[in-house]
Structure 1
Amino acid sequence: MSLSVAAQQALDAFSACPGWEQRARLLMQWGERLEPLSDAERVNEHRVHGCESLVWLVAEKEDGIWHFRAGSDARLLRGLLAILLARVDGLSGDKLAALDLVDWFNQLGLQRQLSPSRSNGLNAVLQRMRELAQES
C-alpha cells in the first residue's frame, strides 16, 4: 500500500530521529499542526469513547475518499492523532479497514513508547473512523 505525501513526510521525519526525546519533540510539533476543532465540533456526538483523554473526530467524505479532523485536550495525543491522520487521510473505506495501526507506529519507531492506554485510545479512534466509513 503506497503512502500519501503526508504519511511519507511523517515516516521520513520520524525515521531521521535518533532517539525517543527527538521523536517526542517531533510528535509535539506535529500535534501543533492539527487544525483546531471549533466548539461546535467538540461535542459529544464527535467524541471518541475508549480514550482516557478527550478526543473528538470529525469525518468528511468527498468523491469516495475520507478526510478526518481530530482534536484532543492532551498534547502528546494530539501529536499521535496528527500522525494517524497523515496516514489515513485520503483513504477509501476499504483501505481504512485494512490499515495496520501497530505496523504504522512500528515504522515510525513509536510503538514501544505507546502505553497500553494510549494504544487502546488510538485503536478506538481508528475503529471510529472505520465505523463512520461503513455507515455511509
Structure 2
Amino acid sequence: MAATDDGLKKLEYLSLVSKVCSELKTHIGVGDKVLAEFITELGRNCETVDDFDTKLKKKGAEMPDYFVRTLLTIMQAILPLKLKPEKDSKKESASDGRKTKFKALAVANNKDRVKDIEKEIEMETEEK
C-alpha cells in the first residue's frame, strides 16, 4: 500500500512540475523543467502569495504579481499544504474514534439520545 501512495505522490509532483513548466513557457517564454522544479520547491511550503513572492525575489526571480499568484494557486491545488499539527491537540475523541473540537457534534445519535432531546424540547415548550 505504501508503494502505491509513493507512486501517486510522485505522479502528482510530476504533474505539478509539468503544469508549472507550461505556465513558465506561456508567460516568460522559458519552459525549463529544472527551473519549474526549483520554483515548485520554493513555493511548496508557502501559505501566502507574499511569502512566495519574497522567496522568489530573494533568489533573483522578478515576476509579476499575477503570475506569482497563478503559480501558487496551481501548486496549492495540485499539492495542498499539509496543515501543521496544533499545539493544543488534547481534544476529545468522538464516539467513532475521530477527534473533534466540537464535542456536541461527537455525541452519537441513538434512540435514548433522541428520547432525551424530545423530553428537553417538551419541557422547554411547557415553560413558555
TM-score interval for Structure 1 and Structure 2 normalised by the shorter chain: 0.3 to 0.5
Task: Report the TM-score when normalising by structure 1.
Answer: 0.32
Q: Higher helix share goes to which structure?
A: 2
Larger Rg: 2
Q: Higher strand share goes to which structure?
A: 1
